[in-house]
């Protein structure tokens, strides 16, 4: 709310009194005219304050307003409703409407209770100022009492209708910090009635400014409030207005959220420490086992006495390597579940990543009697993602496929594009005649999907295995999916299939 004052004007018993008029208008031209009128003093000493309808009635709560001027423009519904609301609340000041020079509009404003309806387009700023002064004089004359009539105690009290109606808690203090008025909202937050409050010390900070206070109510309940205190005049003497906003629920919610965040950070730190310790405690002995077994199987310190020992050393080395891979998968899944993976957005050549993953597994596949081939189009679009994570996911995918594939079969990794999405499909290709021979020779067992049961040579990849769980997590981080299709025992043409699908928004053309 802005404010402007006029010169003091002439002095003497017939000098016009200084008036404060609050103008509710968004018109910069109208504000400029009133500001110029205040500076010229042509309508006597005037002081203007300004606000808009968007600010509501809060700017009208300050005591000391002699007149209100409400800009209703062309008489829209919202403008007339605001005029009626201000008049219905009953401020102790005349309300003057400012609108278009339309007889119907002026009639509507007067019916709403306005003292007068003036047109800034037809009346000069001076005539507007004089009309405001006349309206104040009429109001004062209508409220004058006979000289011999004793003024009642109620008549000496300032009018507080607007302050009483506002939902904000308002307390008015005198210069000594004693409560002179408290509206119903203030009585509610302080937990006391008006009779218990008026005439007693406020008990809270009374210096102008903003304060965070704790209110202790008689019922023992504590309320947290934000309080704003400003200087004003009340009944013609200096006073202060305290506006309180109850923030108890908000502060308690903030405290609860802060405590939850603190607990979450402590849990995260403990988890980080746990995985770091597990990583160190498992890797250290495994590194020794793998290193020593490799030296023994390669006979670096000299020949071993028995070939069986060399075979055992080779088995220890292989088992240690597999166990190390499992630990890598476990830690990778745990890291992903903790949402601590920050993907690196880069343009990836998925076909090249697949070739690298396959090349690193070819020796393992050969040892298992399985061959691997990659089918990738020459012009496959790029993929936006984390190359290291994608390569790790493809590596674990192929490792699980080799574990599940039958000896003599071929694992085919096919990359392509379907409906503007990139997919990766892993299939096991087998000779149907060999499959039929196995079906005739072996008893039919139900497929068991258990991450703790080996799926070796079963064509039934374990969907919850460590390898596929890590690959699925990598796909989810990229917004994709992983689907597993198992081979059917009684259908020789069906084979194991694992499909990866990336979302369209990660395809780069």
Tell me the pLDDT of the chain averaged across its residues.
Answer: 79
3-class state of residue 471 by DSSP: helix
- Is the C-alpha dihedral spanning 76, 136, 155, 162 positive or negative? positive
Give 505's pLDDT tier (boundaries 50, 70, 90): very high
**Residue 417 phi/psi, 5° resolution?**
-130, 135
Q: How far is the C-alpha of 150 from the C-alpha of 97, rounded, in Å?
A: 35
**pLDDT of the residue at 440:** 59
More confident call, 406 vs 421: 421
Q: Report CA-CA distances (Å) from 123 to 30, 114, 120, 502.
A: 12, 17, 5, 72
Where does the pLDDT of residue 147 fall: very low under 50, low under 70, confident under 90, or very high at 90 and above? Answer: very low
**Strands 46-51 and 371-375, sheet pairing:** unpaired
Q: Which residues of 70-84 are buried (b: 16+ CB within 10 A; e: fewer)?
A: bbbeebeeebbebbb
Tell me how far apart the terminal alpha carbons of the chain are, to the nearest angstrom. Answer: 56
H or E element, residue 232: strand 222-234
Quickly state the pLDDT bin for 417 (edges 50, 70, 90): very high
Which of 179-193, 213-227, 436-450, 462-476 bottoms out in mean pLDDT, i.e. has the lowest?
436-450
Bridge pairing between strands 421-429 and 382-385:
unpaired
- Sign of torsion over alpha carbons 432, 433, 434, 440: positive
- Tell me if 502 sits within 8 A of 478, measured CB to CB: yes
Return the H-helix or E-strand segment holding 96.
strand 95-99
The CA distance from 409 to 429, in Å, is 6
pLDDT of residue 444: 45
Per-residue pLDDT, 470: 81
DSSP string, 239-273: EEEEEEEE-HHHHHHHHHHHHHHHHHHHHHHHHHH
Tell me the average pLDDT across 394-419: 89
CA 334 to chain centre: 27
The strand ranges marked E within 419-489 are 421-429, 481-485
Gap between the Cα atoms of 96 and 113, Å rounded = 9
* 383 CB neighbour count, 10 Å cutoff: 21
Residue 134: CA count within 13 A, CB half-sphere:
10
pLDDT single digits (tens) 247-260 = 888 888 888 888 88
Closest alpha carbon to 360 in 392, 326, 317, 322 = 392
Find out whether 353 and 385 touch, Cβ atoms under 8 Å: no
| Euclidean distance between CA atoms 373 and 173, whole angstroms | 88
Task: Count the Cβ atoms, other than its own, within 10 Å of residue 138.
Answer: 13
Reduce the DSSP state of residue 73 to 3 states and report it. Answer: strand
With vertex at residue 367, the alpha carbon angle to CA 361 and CA 370, rounded to the nearest 5 degrees, is 70
Q: Look at residue 506 in the predicted model and tell me its pLDDT.
A: 93
> What pTM did the predictor assign?
0.41
For 439, the enclosing helix (H) or strand (E) is helix 432-441
- Among 413, 395, 382, 390, smallest CA distance to 479 is for 390
How would you write 384-424 as a 3-class SS string? EECHHHHHHHHHHHHHHHHHHCCCCCEEEEEEEEECCEEEE
Which pLDDT belongs to residue 164? 52
Token duo for residue 23: 């103008």
Q: 59 or 273: whose pLDDT is higher?
A: 59
Ranking 20-34, 88-102, 253-267, 419-433 by mean pLDDT, the lowest is: 88-102
Lowest mean pLDDT among 158-172, 355-369, 384-398, 405-419: 158-172
Measured CA to CA, the distance from residue 262 to residue 81 in angstroms comes to 50
What integer pLDDT is reported at residue 416 of this predicted model? 94
């Amino acid at each position: 709310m802005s404010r402007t004052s006029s010169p003091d004007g002439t002095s003497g018993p017939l000098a016009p009194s200084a008036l404060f008029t609050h103008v509710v208008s968004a018109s910069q031209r109208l504000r400029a005219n009133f500001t110029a009128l205040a500076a010229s003093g042509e309508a006597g000493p005037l002081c203007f304050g300004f606000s808009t309808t968007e600010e509501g009635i809060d700017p009208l709560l300050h005591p000391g307003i002699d007149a209100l001027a409400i800009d209703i423009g062309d008489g829209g519904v919202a403008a007339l409703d605001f005029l009626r609301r201000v008049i219905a609340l009953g401020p102790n000041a005349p309300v003057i409407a400012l609108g278009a020079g339309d007889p119907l509009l002026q009639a509507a404003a007067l019916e709403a209770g306005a003292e007068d309806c003036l047109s800034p387009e037809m009346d000069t700023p001076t005539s507007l100022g004089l009309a405001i002064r006349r309206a104040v004089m009429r109001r004062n004359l209508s409220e004058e009492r006979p000289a011999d009539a004793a003024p009642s105690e109620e008549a000496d009290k300032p009018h507080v209708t607007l302050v009483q109606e506002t939902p904000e808690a308002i307390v008015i203090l005198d210069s000594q910090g004693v409560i002179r008025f408290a509206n119903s909202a203030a009585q509610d937050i302080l937990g006391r009635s008006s009779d218990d409050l008026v005439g007693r010390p406020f008990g809270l900070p009374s210096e102008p400014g903003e304060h965070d206070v704790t209110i202790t109510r008689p019922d023992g309940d504590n309320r947290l409030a934000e309080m704003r205190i400003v200087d004003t005049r009340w009944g013609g003497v200096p006073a202060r207005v305290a506006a309180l906003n109850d923030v108890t629920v908000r502060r308690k919610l903030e405290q609860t959220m802060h405590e939850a965040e603190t607990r979450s950070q402590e849990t995260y730190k403990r988890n980080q420490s746990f995985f770091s310790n597990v990583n160190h405690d498992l890797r250290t002995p495994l590194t020794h086992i793998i290193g020593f077994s490799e030296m023994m199987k390669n006979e670096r310190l000299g020949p071993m006495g028995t070939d069986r020992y060399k075979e055992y050393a080779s088995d220890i080395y292989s088992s240690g390597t597999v166990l190390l891979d499992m630990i890598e998968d476990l830690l990778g899944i745990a890291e992903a579940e903790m949402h601590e993976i920050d993907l690196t957005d880069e343009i990836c050549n998925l076909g090249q990543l697949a070739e690298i993953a396959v090349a690193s597994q070819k020796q393992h596949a050969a040892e298992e009697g399985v061959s691997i081939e990659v089918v990738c189009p020459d012009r496959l679009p790029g993929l936006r993602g984390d190359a290291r994570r994608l390569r790790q996911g493809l590596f674990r995918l192929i490792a699980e496929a080799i574990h599940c594939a039958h000896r003599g079969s071929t694992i085919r990794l096919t990359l392509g594009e379907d409906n503007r999405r990139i997919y990766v499909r892993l299939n096991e290709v087998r000779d149907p005649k060999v499959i039929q021979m196995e079906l005739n020779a072996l008893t039919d067992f139900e497929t068991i999907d258990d991450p703790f049961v080996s799926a070796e040579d079963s064509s039934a990849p374990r969907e919850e295995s460590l390898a596929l769980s890590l690959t699925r997590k990598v796909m989810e981080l990229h917004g994709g999916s992983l689907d597993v299709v198992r081979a059917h025992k009684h259908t020789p043409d069906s084979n194991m299939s694992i499909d990866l699908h990336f979302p369209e928004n990660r395809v780069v053309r």
